[in-house]
Structures are given as structure tokens and as C-alpha cells.
Amino acid sequence: MTASTLPSAAELDAADPLARFRHEFELPDGIYLVGNSLGAMPKAARDYVDTELDRWSSLGVEGHFTGDLAWKDYHQLITEQFAAIVGARHDEVVAMNALTVNLHLLMISFYRPSPERHKILLERHAFPSDHFAAESQIRQRGFDPAESLIVVGPRDGEETLRPGDLLATIAEHGDQLALVLLPGVQYYTGQVLPMADIVAAGHAVGARVGLDLAHAVGNVELDLHDWDVDFAAWCTYKYLNSGPGGVAGAFVHERHVTDQTLPKFLGWWGTDPSSRFEMATRFEAIPTVESWQLSNAPILPMAALRASLDVIDAAGGIGPMRAKSELQIQFLDRRLDDTLGDRIQNITPRPLAERGCQFALRVTRGDGRRVFDDLERARVLCDWREPDVIRVAPVPLYNSFDDIDRFVDILDGIVR
């Protein structure tokens, strides 16, 4: 088909089985294309949070033990939904803490350096928190990041990582590699990394493999259990729409969760709940990933997260969301090609299997910051990442094809 015979935005919106879910969110004025940074607010979040405020008001401390929403077990209300979203079993996932806190807690268990095997592999342009976490863990164990931190990046003149280079680097450092710590989706380019292949390559050389899924959860389909990932951590305020600073998630493969030889930091909420309130000082680990918990759940952030997860469930889960996302990706590709041509470069990989919903756009004439500022003035909400990328993300739950259409028209006018 020629461009003129491809479906229009109006036709695609009319045929969209998820179109009704846009009305489940409160969207800022304008075109909201920055769910890769902060997801839109589910309308139900107000009710879910208000329910807990009312319970606090009326029950006080008894809210910890009263009813189906008892706070002492509140984190378990999220477990099955997390498991479905990341492709895990219920005993492998838990909602707790924030992303980098969870990375540190899990690295205590899974980064176990020795004089012979002490290196951590990161990608060169990993999100700064991952660098800081890895470097500080290396120093805490008595090693030097200059020797123990290995980074792999795109080749000169290229924007994205070649999967073969990733796997070759793992093999090259195999005898000294203790941990592979990579993102599921690269935050800057939007590239989806070959997670299953990375896990297999890491395990083949005797290393543990952890994933930072901040930009992958709720964006692409995941299968952490079957991929045999050792551990993973993610935030929930991007594609899971839990609100600013929302509670994060953690995964530990079930073959590790009952391994009492793994070192870990201990807290009251990781001990057996049947004896927890006996106030004994003997730690009896819960035989699930919950044993990595330190403290009781932050109820109000978890209530907001539950509101979003229930919308995702109503939409049929990640499968239908990803199907719509692929249509939106192809539609935006086509509109950019037809309308802006070589005036905009999309550095996100073209194949669908190598990308999520985020586009990383570069203005070829070099005034990207001015273009971004003009987009903001036109109430197109996206974000800027140094040195020269505008990130936009059509999110299938609440962005329409018309949003994409209008964005391209506005961008065209600004770039002209």
C-alpha cells in the first residue's frame, strides 16, 4: 500500500479496542507523550488512595489487621499482577522500596566478588543510578571500579548496541565476570536489548545476571522466569502509572528464593509473618522474594499503583497493550518518514522486536533544544535528554493515534 492508502489516525482510533481506556486517565492539557518519564494519573487513583485515608481515619492502627485491605498484607494485593506483567511466578515478585534501593539490596545477594571473579558489566550509557550503584558496590567489597567495572557501548559512529558485541564482551571477560547488570530497554535510545540471550550468555560463563527494567515494565512483554533471570528491579511510575516516586518492584528467580546461603540485608518484614509479631530476634526467612523486604508497605503509594494495575488488567494485560503499541510505532514511523523526512533522525532501532513505545528523535540541523522548547510552548509534553535527544512515547493505554498525528504536524511546523 502507498502512504495515501494506509489507515488514517481517525480510522485507527475508530478500530482501536483499547480506545476507551484513555478515559480512565486524567491527562494534562495538550498532547501528553512523556509516559516514559511519568505515566498519566489513573482516575481511580483518587478513590483508591481516599479509601486508605478513610480507613486510617476511622480505624487508626487497627487498619493493619482489618478486612481485605489489611495493611500488614497490603503488598500481596499487587503480587499476582506484577507476576503477570513480568512473566514470573507469584513467589518471585514483590512490591517494595524504590528502584535503586532494590538494586542495592539485590546486589548484596548476587554480586559476590572474589579475587578471581570480581567484575560487573554495564552498558556505557546506562542510567546514572546503575553506574552509581555498581561503582559503590564494587568499592564496598574492597575492589576498584577502574579495574572491576566493564562497560560496553555502541561502535564508533553508531547509536545503539550491537547484540553480538554485548555477547562477545560477556564471553571475553567470562572468567572474571561476577555480574552482568543491563537494562531491558535502554533509556536514551529506546533500544530493547536481547534479554534472554544476555541471560544465557552470562550463565554460560558463570556470572549472575540482573536486569534494570525501569523502561521495560509495562512497555514490552517480559518472561523473567523462563528466561532464567537471576534478579530484576523496576520502578512503576513510568508505564505502570503509579505516580511520582511510586513504590518499585523486585524479582528473584525461585531457584534462589529459598537459598539461605545467599547474603542479604535483613529487616522485620522479611521474617516469617506467623512469628513476626512475637517480636523475637531470630530471623526466619519467608520462603519467597518477600524475605528481601525490610519494612512494612507504604500504603498510599501502593494504593495508587493498584488503581493503575487494575486498569491494565481490564485492558487484557501487556499482550493487547503491546499489540496496539506496535501499531502506534508503525504509524509514527510512517508519519515521520512522510512528513519530516531527513529533517528528523530517529535513533531508536527500526525493527519492532528491538524497540518499545519510546522514540529518541534528533533534529538533524542541530537545534534540538530550541525545537524541544517550542514543542513545550505548543503544549506537546515530551522530554529532553542531553546531549541532543527529544524522547516521545505514545503509550497505548491513554494515547490516541490522533495524538501522534497532531504531534507530527506541530513538529513539522516547528522544524520548518
pLDDT score recorded for residue 322: 98
Question: Using CA atoms, how far apart are residues 357 and 409, in angstroms rounded to an integer?
Answer: 19
pLDDT for 88-105, tens place per residue? 999 999 999 999 999 999
Q: What is the pLDDT of residue 6?
A: 77
pLDDT > 70 in the chain, percent: 99
**pLDDT tens for residues 1-59?**
444 567 999 999 999 999 999 999 999 999 999 999 999 999 999 999 999 999 999 99
- Give the count of beta carbons closer than 10 Å to the beta carbon of residue 324: 23
Q: 351-355 contacts: CB < 8 A, separation 24 or more?
A: 352/326, 353/192, 354/160, 354/191, 354/192, 355/190, 355/191, 355/192, 355/329
Contact yes or no for 253/224 (Cβ under 8 A): yes
Output the CA torsion sign for 85, 90, 93, 95. positive
| pTM beyond cutoff 0.85 | yes
What is the pLDDT, as a whole number, of residue 2? 44
Assigned CATH topology for domain 3-16+317-415: Aspartate Aminotransferase, domain 1 (3.90.1150)
Q: Compute the distance between CA of residue 11 and CA of residue 17 in angstroms, rounded to an integer.
A: 12
pLDDT at 331: 98
pLDDT confidence tier of residue 177, bands split at 50, 70 and 90: very high
Res. 352: pLDDT tops 50: yes
- Rounded mean pLDDT, 106-133: 97
Average pLDDT across the chain, whole number: 96
User: For 288-303, what is each residue's pLDDT tens digit?
Assistant: 999 999 999 999 999 9
* More confidently predicted of 41 and 366: 41
Amino acid at 19: A
* Strand-pair partners of 41: 26
Q: Is the pLDDT of residue 69 over 80?
A: yes
Task: State the average pLDDT over residues 182-206.
Answer: 98
Q: Taking residues 343-372, report their average pLDDT.
A: 96
Q: How far apart are CA 121 and CA 170, in angstroms?
A: 8
> 50-313: which CATH topology?
Aspartate Aminotransferase; domain 2 (3.40.640)
Locate the domains of the chain by residue range: 3-16+317-415, 50-313
Which pLDDT does position 416 carry in this prediction? 87
- The answer, yes or no, to whether residue 384 has pLDDT greater than 60, is yes
Mean pLDDT of 304-328: 98
> What pLDDT is stored for residue 5 in this prediction?
65
The answer to whether residue 415 scores a pLDDT higher than 90 is yes
Instruction: Indicate the Cα dihedral angle 316, 317, 319, 322, nearest 10°.
Output: 110
User: Residue 284: what pLDDT?
Assistant: 92
